[in-house]
Amino acid sequence: MSNSKRITLQQTSEIIKDGSSLTFSGFTIWRRPMAIVYELIRQHRKHLHLIEVNGGSHTEFLVGAGCVDIWESCWVGHELYGKYGANLSRKVAEKKIIVEDYSHAEMLFRFVAAASGAPYAVTQTSLGTDIHNPEFDMLGRAGLRDGKRIAQHKYQFVDDPFYGAGAHVLVPAAKVDIAVLCVQQVGEEGTVRLNGQCYSDPEVARAADITIVMAEEIVPEEYLRRNADQNAIASFEVDYILECPFGAHPTGMFGRYDVDGSFLKDFYGATRTQEGFDEFAKEWIHGLDHVSYLEKLGWPKMLKLRANTAMNYCPREKKGGN
């Protein structure tokens, strides 16, 4: 086998196995690795454990398709285009998924801990809330806290032993098998350049055992190394790379294309029921590959979403509002 880190879209679903724990790049409806998410759904991946700083449209696709057994995070929805995660909500009501709730900062700090090799993070957020209700430790209730990949406790309280600043909460490092990223540029050796807000991408890439980077374009390493201070993730932190233009659609990508709000609105409206989800997946996922997906989407839509390269987004006068 060569040293190349390049893989195909189909190969991502061999690396991501049934039962893998996964995390993702991006933020709610921005820079989510949708082309890989669609491939996982096509390959009927099962029993996935998602551990996310925050969820979003990609979560709703995976959950709706029945790929996910456990979701550990703090939020799911489609922002302006769908006010909550209807698929997650339905699976929770049917008890087909275990949800472990943390706060947003707790999830972020859990990844910061994992990324720095620490067993836990300490914070003072969310004290006094039901996030710390001992009855609501859902992985504990399910008997899954083995102390290996899933921590022995959801959280622990500790009094500041150094400065006497009172109660703090310890939250366990997020130990996750695979981080799946969707970015603007990756080099042949794996160096990642992110543009715009980096969200929690550097932390999740470092925290995961395996990192897959799907980029709008693979560029020469030498090009990225000319301005190394602008790179976000080092080559050796990345295990696999692939090129997939428009791979984040319908989520947005800074500098490349905006969120496809009407697509997300349609998805949210159509997938309140399982039948609705299955219909949507039949139309937009099954039987398609990435190129035929883009063909179905069509050039007029893609041009409408395309960002202005000076502003890094698609100005509203071009779109006429959305």
Partner 1 sequence: MSDFASPEEYGLADLLCCAAAHEVQNNEVVFAGTGLPMVAIMLAQQTHAPNLKLIFEAGTLDGRPPEIPTSVGDARCEMGASRASGLFDAFSVAQRGYVDMGFLGGAEVDQYGNVNTTCIGDYLEPELRLTGSGGNPDINSFAKRTVFIMVHEKRRFVENVSYITSPGWRVKKWPGGELVHRRELYGAAYRGGPSAIISTLGVFRFDEQDGHMYLDTCHPGTTAEQIKEQCQFDLDISRVKGQTQVPTREELRLIHDVLDPDQIFIPKVKK
Chain residues 47-86 in contact with partner 1, contact rule CB under 8 A: 53-55, 73-77, 79-80, 83-85
- CB-wise, 117 or 134, nearer to partner 1? 134
Residue type, 222: E
* Cα–Cα distance for residue pair 259/237, rounded to 1 Å: 28
Q: Does 263 bind partner 1 (CB under 8 A)?
A: no
Backbone angles phi, psi at 192, to 5 degrees: -110, 130
Instruction: Compute the chain's Rg from CA coordinates.
Output: 20
Select 166 or 300, whichever has its Cβ closest to partner 1: 166
Distance in angstroms (rounded) separating the CA atoms of residues 157 and 200 = 25
| CB 153 to partner 1: min, Å | 12
Q: From CA 193, how far away is CA 255, in angstroms rounded?
A: 12
Span 286-315, contacts to partner 1 by CB under 8 A = 307, 311-313, 315
152 binding partner 1? (CB under 8 A): no
Q: How far apart are CB 294 and partner 1 at their closest, in Å?
A: 20
Site for partner 1 in 161-190 (CB under 8 A): 163-167
Strands 98-101 and 120-123, sheet pairing: unpaired
Question: Please, which residue, 201 or 239, has the CB nearer to partner 1?
Answer: 201
Q: Scanning residues 109 to 138, which ones bind partner 1 (CB under 8 A)?
A: 109, 112, 123-136
Q: What is the size of the binding site for partner 1 (CB under 8 A)? A: 76
Q: Does 27 bind partner 1 (CB under 8 A)?
A: yes
Contact call for residue 261 and partner 1 (CB under 8 A): yes
Q: Based on CB atoms, which residue is closest to partner 1, 127 or 291?
A: 127
Name the minimum Å distance from CB 160 to partner 1. Answer: 8
Taking CB under 8 A as the rule, does residue 28 contact partner 1? Answer: yes
- Nearer Cβ to partner 1 (43/322): 322
- Long-range Cβ contacts of 114-119 (<8 Å, 24+ apart): 114/173, 114/174, 114/175, 114/176, 114/203, 114/206, 114/207, 115/202, 115/203, 115/204, 115/206, 115/207, 116/206, 118/173, 119/172, 119/173
> Least Å distance between CB 284 and partner 1?
22
H or E element at residue 140? helix 138-141
In the complex, what is the shortest distance from the CB of residue 38 to partner 1, in angstroms, rounded to a whole number?
21
Judged by CB under 8 A, does residue 234 bind partner 1? no
**Residue 252 in the binding site for partner 1 (CB under 8 A):** yes
Q: Give min distance, CB of 128 to partner 1, in A.
A: 3
Q: How many whole angstroms separate alpha carbon 252 and alpha carbon 5?
A: 25
Chosen residue from 38, 61, 199, 267 binding partner 1 by CB under 8 A: 199
CB 172 within 8 A of CB 119: yes
Give the H or E element holding residue 218: strand 210-219
Q: Which residues pair with 168 in a beta bridge?
A: 158
